[in-house]
Amino acid sequence: MRRNRRVKILATLGPSSSDQETIEKLYRAGADVFRINMSHTDHALLNTLVGRIRAVEESVGRPIGILADLQGPKLRVGTFADGSVMLENGAPFILDADAAPGTIDRVHLPHREILEALQPGHRLLLDDGKIRLVVQQASATRANCIVEVGGKLSNRKGVSVPDTEIPVGALTPKDRKDLEAALDAKVDWIALSFIQRPDDLAEVRKITRGRAGVLAKIEKPQAIDRLPEILELSDALMVARGDLGVEMPLERVPGLQKQITRAARRAGKPVVVATQMLESMISAPVPTRAEVSDVATAVFEGADAVMLSAESAAGEFPVEAVETMDRIAQEVERDPNYRAIIHAQRAEPEATGADAISAAARQIAETLSLAAVVCYTSSGATGLRASRERPSVPVIALSPVVGTARRLSLAWGLHCVVSEDAHDEEDMVDRACRISYSEHFAKPGQRIIITAGVPFGTPGSTNMLRIAFVGSDGRGGI
């Protein structure tokens, strides 16, 4: 199966889409990678979902990526004696370490680390930002606040602290267990939530030890401030616009989306744009015009993937949501302005042989109107370099490692094929031509360009370019 677009679609599985039949329908509709949200998934269900995705993978004959999204630290207030209170603008309100039921004057905050880190002037955003408090006085056991924006506050509503760096890691005890379970299940990507500092990623990398790619979700102001260091330690980024829009002014989110996307593209690392992309399709068979424009903007910007959350996990029209996103992406990529925008944002290659070869392959392929760029990639690094170039011709990533092919299914423009490594140069050309022909990228008489590393089978040694003709039987020729 060949996609008619370069951007990838990441679909979240949930109550509406957990059975194998629906997962296969979602894949055939356009989903390239499936997200499993560990906030709502126990380990038994995780293993079941992974098994179903792998069964679909076998059915369709294509590598499919799986992303396990860790919950991260969920900060919540305690409970109220009457279940809820109505906070008035300008009223005093206390958050404290007392576990007694809350009243109109105070509530328990069962996170000592927040109380210890708060300072006068810091904001607390409750219930997804609907209620805003400002700290007047703070100690290790209580924070005296003024209600800046009031409203109804009920039991266990979420707390965000955009001005406060909490001195705890992003991995909770639950996350550690979920991470080990996900690695045992052989997922391809681990998404880490509520990152504040590069150290949060270092801890996860130490546990994963290369068994899965590490994707950093950018959703806190502290992460924006340290984006270069976080990008350095991660394998991919996600623009998590939901929490980002709670913790920062909403009007800043579109600019931050572009900033994060471009930073990831310069680094040659996949970037996913997520949250509320087709939100109305949770309950409607068609999206709003604004949602269509939102998806289109992410595609025009050159994001590697666009993500569906509740639309595919719990919505009434999961398959239709994927089909809609697929159609939007295809239409954008046909737009005459698309190539000009993508080209204008192309980063200069780094001063390495592998980067220079990937850049040259793209330029030669476009100059000679070749049918495809074929790259042999064992670790995935060469595939990501080819993707970073954003060529106008198709890119086929051949890997002998099934895990690499699955992981690369998140990267822009890569058509991943699992194939054993070439034995020699003749086999390299022949294999590349046959796969280009059988996967319907090249016809007899057309030419392809191949990048590979010599000696063959050595990861990270891309040092060869070769132009080859596809013969009448699909085999290669010089």
Q: Tens digits of per-residue pLDDT, 139-178?
A: 999 999 999 999 999 999 999 999 998 887 779 999 999 9
Residue at which a domain ends, from 337, 364, 397: 337
User: Residue 282 region, left (φ>0) first, then alpha (ψ -120 to 50), else beta?
Assistant: alpha
Question: Is residue 46 located within the same domain as residue 192?
Answer: yes
- 2 located within any domain: no
Three-state DSSP state, 77: coil
Task: Enumerate the active-site residues.
Answer: 35, 76, 217, 275
How far is 83 from 146, CA to CA, in rounded Å?
21
CATH number at residue 290: 3.20.20.60
User: Stretch 38-54: mean pLDDT, rounded?
Assistant: 97
Question: Considering only CA atoms, which of 437, 365, 359 is closest in space to residue 394?
Answer: 365
- 208 located within any domain: yes
pLDDT band at 478 (very low <50, low <70, confident <90, very high): low
Q: Are 411 and 384 in contact (CB under 8 A)?
A: yes
Residue at which a domain ends, from 269, 304, 337: 337
Q: Which is higher by pLDDT, 103 or 473?
A: 103
Question: Is residue 241 located within the same domain as residue 95?
Answer: no
pLDDT value, residue 460: 65
Question: Is residue 290 located within the same domain as residue 209?
Answer: yes
Question: Is residue 68 located within the same domain as residue 193?
Answer: yes
pLDDT over 80 at 327, yes or no: yes
To which residue do tokens 């106008």 refer? 392
Tell me how many helices (H) and strands (E) the chain has: 17, 22
Contacts of 72 (CB under 8 A, 6+ apart): 170, 172, 175, 192, 193, 194, 217
Cα dist. 293→152, 223, 243, 271, 302 in Å?
A: 34, 27, 21, 19, 14
- pTM assigned to the model: 0.93
Write out the residue range of the structural domain in which residue 405 sits. 353-477
- 79 located within any domain: no
- 431 located within any domain: yes
pLDDT over 80 at 84, yes or no: yes
pLDDT band at 73 (very low <50, low <70, confident <90, very high): confident
Residue at which a domain ends, from 304, 337, 370: 337
Q: Is the dihedral of CA 72, 77, 83, 84 positive or negative?
A: negative
Question: Is residue 105 located within the same domain as residue 136?
Answer: yes
How far is 141 from 132, CA to CA, in rounded Å?
20
pLDDT over 70 at 69, yes or no: yes
CATH number at residue 424: 3.40.1380.20
Question: Is residue 40 located within the same domain as residue 105?
Answer: no
Question: Is residue 143 located within the same domain as residue 192?
Answer: no
User: Stretch 416-420: mean pLDDT, rounded?
Assistant: 95
User: Stretch 388-394: mean pLDDT, rounded?
Assistant: 96
What is the number of domains present in the chain? 3
Question: Is residue 148 located within the same domain as residue 216?
Answer: no
- 3 located within any domain: no
Percent of the chain with pLDDT strictly greater than 70 = 99
Question: Is residue 254 located within the same domain as residue 284?
Answer: yes
- 201 located within any domain: yes
Helix H or strand E segment including 68 = strand 65-69
pLDDT value, residue 183: 98
pLDDT band at 295 (very low <50, low <70, confident <90, very high): very high
Q: Write out pLDDT tens, residues 248-293.
A: 999 999 999 999 999 999 999 999 999 999 999 999 999 999 999 9
Cis omega (within 30 of 0) for bond into 455? yes
Chain mean pLDDT for the chain = 94
User: Stretch 405-426: mean pLDDT, rounded?
Assistant: 94
Question: Is residue 290 located within the same domain as residue 436?
Answer: no
Mean pLDDT lowest for which of 4-18, 35-49, 165-179? 165-179
User: Residue 380 region, left (φ>0) first, then alpha (ψ -120 to 50), else beta?
Assistant: left
- 342 located within any domain: no
Q: Are 470 and 447 in contact (CB under 8 A)?
A: yes
pLDDT band at 476 (very low <50, low <70, confident <90, very high): low
Question: Is residue 116 located within the same domain as residue 186?
Answer: no
Contacts of 241 (CB under 8 A, 6+ apart): 253, 257, 273, 274, 275, 276
Cα dist. 440→2, 3, 259, 371 in Å?
A: 8, 11, 36, 10
Burial class (CB in 10 A: 0-12, 13-18, 19+), 445: exposed
Q: b or e along 369-399 (b: 16 or more beta carbons within 10 Å of the residue's beta carbon)? A: ebbbbbbbbbebbbbbbbbbbbbebbbbbbb
- 407 located within any domain: yes
Question: Is residue 440 located within the same domain as residue 467?
Answer: yes
Segment 345-353 long-range contacts (CB within 8 Å, at least 24 positions apart): 345/262, 345/265, 345/301, 345/302, 346/389, 346/390, 347/265, 347/266, 347/268, 347/388, 353/462, 353/463
Helix H or strand E segment including 113 = helix 112-117
User: Stretch 2-28: mean pLDDT, rounded?
Assistant: 97
Q: What is the DSSP letter of 347?
A: P
Q: What angle do CA 302, 307, 308 make, to 5 degrees?
A: 150
CATH number at residue 110: 2.40.33.10
pLDDT band at 201 (very low <50, low <70, confident <90, very high): very high
Helices (H), 189-248: 198-208, 221-225, 227-233, 241-247
